[in-house]
Amino acid sequence: MLFLVLILLICAVDAFYTVPFNQGTFNPMTSKSMDSIMKQNNERSSNCNKNTRFALKMAAKEVVTKADLLDILKDKSGLTKKDVDSVLAALTEAISEQVLDGGKEIRLRDFGTFKQKVTKARMGRNPRTGEAIPVSGSTSVGFSAATAFKKKNNE
């Protein structure tokens, strides 16, 4: 089962780099190039602040949803969509159990490492009043891409 999960994960990474830009969910921002959007907003620079430019950049990126990913994996692996969905659910559950609950690292060669990120509790400040406010700590999953994965991304 673990072997199947790894194969599907590798197929997903490979599919991520081979999916055409406009395939997947509809995004009205993809009909214009980023340069033309930024040019329009630079012409109206008084109305375009840093947050607006950031939002435009994020909106112009193509997003692969879970349904899109399931279709890609189904095509790459030859499995049914239901089987791919159960394998993906098992993968996310295994990462959650091992990393968040167990505090372990999951290393996938040439892909990356999933590891636990712990933020300690600290004292923050209310910017309006200057009052000290306790900020609780948290635990989350972090991902560090492997060198081979970064090189493939930059090709």
User: What is the predicted pLDDT for the residue at 17?
Assistant: 47
pLDDT per residue of the chain (155 residues) written in tens, 0 to 9: 444 445 555 555 554 444 444 444 444 445 455 555 555 555 554 455 566 666 666 666 788 899 999 999 999 999 999 999 999 999 999 998 999 888 899 999 999 999 999 999 999 999 999 999 999 999 888 999 999 888 887 87
Res 86: pLDDT: 95
DSSP codes of every residue in 86-141: HHHHHHHHHHIIIIIIT---EEETTTEEEEEEEE--EEEE-TTT--EEEE--EEEE
78 secondary structure, DSSP code:
-
CATH of 2-25+62-154, one of 3.40.50.620, 3.20.20.70, 4.10.520.10, 3.40.50.2300: 4.10.520.10
Q: What's the confidence (pLDDT) of residue 51?
A: 62
Full-model pTM: 0.53
Write down the domain spans for the chain. 2-25+62-154
